[in-house]
């Protein structure tokens, strides 16, 4: 317990855990009384991340708008982390909903063009940015809900897995999963750990090897998402869910969250440098560059058909 408390304190001092006063409890709110617009303010400063914070409810909605498919480029991830840090520092924000401002896609995962034909220096910066983003989201003391409104493969799935609760639009055309092997590449251990922590060992073993993308109903069945809703109910359900979570005292919930996530966080923090080296060495290989190039061709060709 002492080490968990230390970790919670460390996260707090590194701004991952935000100390929120019990006085900010939203017991004055009920899901039915939720009304976003009057008190919401646009807290966005970036071109690819739009943030709307309702200071009455404490709910922030962070929308990805990096057309065409919200791929996680170095620029996108840098802007994400800047926007995230602002929310972490904002004491009026108690929870964050991650969603997409684009139709049909939550996020297409890592931007393949950042991995294909780029220098090792660029890929080092790219991977560091991804680690940073993940550490912030996974280690956050705020309540984080993914409102998955479209396709969410690979890095998009990781982003959803890093949240506390996942709500997906009930539509079989939207797929989610860790599909890296289908591209001829390997998801790092922390992608696998997040999946395993969520759906269990056997399901992860199958998923990561076969690179399975699950439709919404399948994702619910294996526990990869927690709830399915019609499209027009996605944000209202995410907000109502958040408000229910607000009823739990923050401090107790934050320490419990840090305790549950500690082993996964520690593994990454201890292996960060090695993980970067692994990624850069792996993506230096001609065979991997060839696979990435072929995959990009396939994506572009699919569109041409």
Please identify every residue annotated as catalytic.
Answer: 110, 155, 179-180
Q: Is position 169 an interface residue for ligand TC6 (rule: CB under 6 A)?
A: no
- Shortest approach of ligand TC6 to residue 179 CB, angstroms? 6
Q: How far is CA 175 from its chain centroid?
A: 15
Return the structure tokens found at 39.
């008190």
With CB under 6 A as the contact rule, the residue among 19, 40, 92, 104 that binds ligand TC6 is: 104
Closest to 131 measured CA to CA, from 255, 28, 245, 277: 277
According to the binding rule CB under 6 A, does residue 194 interact with ligand TC6? no
Structural contact between residues 49 and 105, judged by C-beta atoms closer than 8 angstroms: no
Does 212 sit near ligand TC6 (CB under 6 A)? Answer: no
Residue 126 or residue 165: which is nearer to ligand TC6 going by CB? 126
Residues ≥6 apart with Cβ < 8 Å to 244: 31
- Among 179, 216, 241, 264, interactor with ligand TC6 by CB under 6 A: 179
Q: Which of 20, 108, 167, 224 touches ligand TC6 (CB under 6 A)? A: 108
Least Å distance between CB 64 and ligand TC6? 12
Rounded Cα gap, residues 211 and 189, in angstroms: 14
* Residue list 261-290, contact with ligand TC6 (CB under 6 A): none
* Dihedral (CA of 61, 67, 71, 75) sign: negative
Q: What is each CA distance from 136 to 15, 63, 168, 278, 305, in whole angstroms?
A: 9, 16, 22, 21, 40
Residues forming contacts to ligand TC6 in the complex (CB under 6 A) are: 68-69, 71, 104-105, 108-113, 151, 153-155, 179-180, 183, 185, 187, 299-300, 302-303
């Amino acid at each position: 317990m002492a080490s968990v408390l230390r970790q919670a304190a460390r996260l707090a001092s590194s701004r991952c855990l935000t100390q929120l006063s019990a006085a900010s409890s939203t017991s004055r709110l009920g899901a039915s009384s939720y009304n976003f617009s009057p008190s919401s303010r646009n807290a966005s400063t970036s071109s690819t991340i739009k943030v709307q914070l309702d200071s009455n409810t404490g709910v922030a909605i962070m929308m990805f708008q990096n057309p065409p498919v919200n791929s996680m480029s170095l620029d996108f991830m840098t802007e994400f982390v800047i926007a995230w840090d602002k929310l972490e520092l904002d004491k009026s924000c108690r929870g964050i909903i991650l969603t997409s401002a684009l139709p049909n896609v939550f996020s297409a995962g890592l931007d393949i063009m950042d991995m294909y034909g780029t220098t090792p220096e660029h890929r080092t910066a790219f991977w560091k940015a991804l680690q940073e983003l993940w550490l912030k989201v996974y280690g956050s003391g705020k309540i984080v809900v993914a409102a998955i409104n479209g396709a969410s493969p690979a890095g998009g799935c990781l982003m959803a897995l890093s949240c506390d609760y996942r709500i997906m639009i009930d539509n079989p055309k939207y797929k989610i999963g860790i599909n890296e092997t289908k591209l001829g590449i390997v998801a790092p251990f922390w992608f696998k750990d997040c999946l395993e922590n969520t759906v269990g060992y056997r399901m992860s073993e199958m998923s990561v090897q076969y690179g399975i993308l699950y439709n919404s109903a399948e994702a619910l069945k294996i526990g990869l998402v927690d709830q399915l809703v019609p499209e027009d109910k996605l944000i209202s359900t995410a907000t109502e869910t958040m408000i229910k979570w607000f009823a739990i005292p923050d401090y107790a919930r934050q320490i419990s969250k840090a305790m549950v996530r500690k082993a996964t966080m520690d593994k990454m923090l201890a292996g960060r440098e090695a993980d970067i080296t692994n990624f850069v060495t792996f993506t230096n290989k001609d065979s991997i560059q060839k696979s990435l190039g072929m995959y990009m061709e396939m994506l572009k060709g699919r569109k041409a058909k």
